């Protein structure tokens, strides 16, 4: 199928110009002015932005956690991602403790195959790593799973000890893999949670109170030290607060290979959401928790200065009515996670570009390009260039949308951004040359998404 996009304002991480794009098959064939072609479809992008498809390197689809399974699977989750301008995700396969990494990868391939509406890759979550299993990391890299995640939180569930983290970092320094860390001082948090419950403090707001910024900052500092000794790069997922950001800034100022992402909810929402009446605050129980509002300005500054390199969603949706409700009498039993895969672009454009906090070029960097480079997908993904995959998003900069559970594509019964007026929702989205979103509606076919065998980070 061939598609001709006419007169769009093409914006990459470094470019800003008006031109036409000819898509033929899965890739971009030609970029130029006044192109003429007998294309199957012509799209008039006059007065609109054309940007590379988004890459979300942090999603949890069909994910077992907290005694339940996230409500979006690879069909509903990737359709919602496409509706928000994301054309590739890197999801998390989870090792079963005591089992080979390859077994878990097979399970996650089966979850995605025939369902994914956009392209997808996998990180591998490590839960244990005896010396005999360390070579399995090399095999994962050969299979295109070139990044590994470990949790420094949730003792008794998914938390690993520092020995495991250091062994993984050391192996990554040899095989080129990327280690991603959930940085919170899990043992300290566990004590705080038990103290709160013993005092009868069971409401959702205590989820945030028992996970203070200092717990995130301490773990971030500790992990940076381990990475430095191991001689490996490290990537911090869902950084939420100024204290942790300061640790990353100090490390990057010393030219250490330290990278970090934040998420739209930390840029747009704050801890006042936990003060709602009744159990409503449970909708915002995610980890790390929402912080005081002043942290938002620091995170935006960090994005502008490249102290933070990526914005991901950490999409891990649990229904309010029958999943979050498990913690009505005990905040520690509320499944941790929130929906956001559909609204990353809108938050960045509305609260970032429209307010002057970031430029359109910087939006493309943190929405697409840097993730492509760090996670081994560039230049196939993350840019608009001849020969690159035809992952393209057309945005009407003047079109405004009110976000609502009534109109979103996610398989969940609430929306964290309910009622917020946003710009930047896509009119048209192409995923490797296939039209998947038109006039904001999904027009693709589940199963079109392809597994992305990734290279090592750049």
Answer whether residue 66 shows pLDDT above 90.
Answer: no
pLDDT bucket at 350, cuts 50 / 70 / 90: very high
DSSP letter string, 3-48 = EEEEEEEEE-SS-EEEEEEEEETTEEEEEESS-----SEEEE-TT-
Tell me how far apart the alpha carbons of residues 355 and 352 are, in angstroms, rounded to a whole number: 6
What was the pLDDT predicted at 454? Answer: 98
Could you check whether 2-51+380-398+421-442 and 52-336+344-374 share the same CATH topology?
no
Q: Give 84-113 pLDDT, tens digit per residue.
A: 999 999 999 999 999 999 999 999 999 999
Tell me how far apart the alpha carbons of residues 251 and 385 are, in angstroms, rounded to a whole number: 33
Domain boundaries, the chain: 2-51+380-398+421-442, 52-336+344-374
Tell me how far apart the alpha carbons of residues 429 and 283 are, in angstroms, rounded to a whole number: 29
Pairing between β-strand 64-65 and β-strand 68-69 as defined by DSSP bridges? antiparallel
Across the chain, what does the average pLDDT equal?
A: 97
Contact 112, 444 (CB under 8 A): no
Answer whether residue 209 shows pLDDT above 80.
Answer: yes
Answer whether residue 457 shows pLDDT above 80.
Answer: no
Q: Give 406-452 pLDDT, tens digit per residue.
A: 999 999 999 999 999 999 999 999 999 999 999 989 999 989 999 99
pLDDT bucket at 256, cuts 50 / 70 / 90: confident
* pLDDT, mean of residues 68-87: 98
Tell me how far apart the alpha carbons of residues 323 and 274 are, in angstroms, rounded to a whole number: 18
CA 359 to chain centre: 20
The domain over range 52-336+344-374 is classified in CATH as 3.50.50.60: no
Instruction: Single out the residue of 218, 294, 311, 216 nearest to residue 259, CA to CA.
Output: 311
pLDDT bucket at 458, cuts 50 / 70 / 90: low
In the chain, what percentage of residues exceed pLDDT 90? Answer: 97
Bridge partner list, 337: none
* pLDDT, mean of residues 20-33: 97
What was the pLDDT predicted at 77? Answer: 98
* pLDDT, mean of residues 257-270: 98
Please, what CATH class does the domain formed by 2-51+380-398+421-442 belong to?
mainly beta
* 0.75 surpassed by pTM: yes
DSSP letter string, 321-374 = TTTGGGGTT-GGGSPP-B--TTSHHHHHIIIIITTTSS-HHHHHIIIIIHHHHH
Tell me how far apart the alpha carbons of residues 77 and 80 are, in angstroms, rounded to a whole number: 5
* pLDDT, mean of residues 166-191: 97
């Amino acid at each position: 199928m061939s598609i001709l996009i006419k007169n769009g304002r093409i914006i990459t991480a470094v470019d800003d110009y008006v031109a036409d794009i000819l898509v033929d098959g899965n890739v971009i064939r030609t970029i130029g002015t006044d192109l003429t072609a007998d294309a199957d479809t012509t799209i008039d992008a006059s007065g609109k932005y054309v940007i590379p498809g988004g890459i979300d390197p942090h999603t949890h689809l069909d994910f077992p956690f907290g005694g339940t399974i996230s409500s979006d699977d690879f069909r509903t989750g990737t359709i919602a991602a496409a509706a928000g301008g994301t054309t590739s995700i890197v999801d998390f396969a989870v090792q079963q403790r005591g089992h080979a990494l390859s077994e878990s990868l097979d399970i996650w391939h089966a979850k995605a195959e025939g369902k994914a509406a956009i392209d997808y890759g996998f990180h591998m979550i490590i839960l244990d790593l005896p010396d005999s299993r360390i070579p399995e990391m090399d095999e994962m890299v050969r299979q295109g799973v070139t990044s590994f995640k470990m949790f420094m939180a949730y003792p008794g569930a998914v938390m690993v000890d520092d020995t495991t983290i250091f062994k993984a970092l050391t192996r990554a320094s040899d095989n080129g893999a990327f280690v991603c860390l959930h940085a919170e001082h899990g043992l300290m948090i566990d004590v705080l949670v038990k103290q709160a419950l013993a005092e009868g403090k069971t409401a959702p707001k205590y989820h945030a109170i028992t996970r203070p910024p200092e717990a995130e900052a301490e773990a971030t500092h500790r992990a940076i030290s381990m990475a430095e000794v191991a001689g490996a790069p490290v990537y911090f997922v869902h950084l939420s607060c100024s204290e942790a950001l300061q640790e990353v800034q100090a490390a990057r100022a010393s030219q250490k290979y330290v990278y970090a992402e934040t998420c739209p909810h930390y840029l747009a929402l704050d801890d006042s959401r936990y003060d709602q009446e009744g159990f409503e605050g449970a909708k915002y129980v995610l980890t790390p928790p929402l912080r005081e509002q002043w942290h938002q300005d620091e995170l935006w500054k960090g994005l502008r200065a490249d102290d933070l390199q990526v914005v991901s969603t950490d999409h891990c949706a649990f229904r309010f009515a029958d999943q979050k409700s498990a913690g009505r009498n005990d905040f520690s039993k509320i499944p941790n996670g929130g929906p956001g895969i559909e609204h990353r672009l809108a938050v960045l454009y509305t609260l970032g570009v429209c307010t002057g906090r970031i430029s359109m070029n910087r939006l493309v960097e943190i929405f697409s390009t840097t993730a492509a480079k760090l996670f081994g997908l560039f230049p196939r993904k993350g840019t608009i260039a001849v020969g690159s995959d035809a992952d393209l998003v057309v945005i009407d900069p003047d079109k405004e949308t009110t976000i609502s559970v009534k109109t979103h594509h996610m398989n969940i019964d609430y929306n964290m951004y309910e009622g917020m007026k946003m710009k930047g929702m896509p009119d048209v989205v192409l995923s490797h040359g296939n039209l998947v979103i038109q006039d904001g509606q999904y027009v693709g076919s589940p199963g079109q998404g392809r597994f992305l065998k990734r290279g090592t980070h750049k």
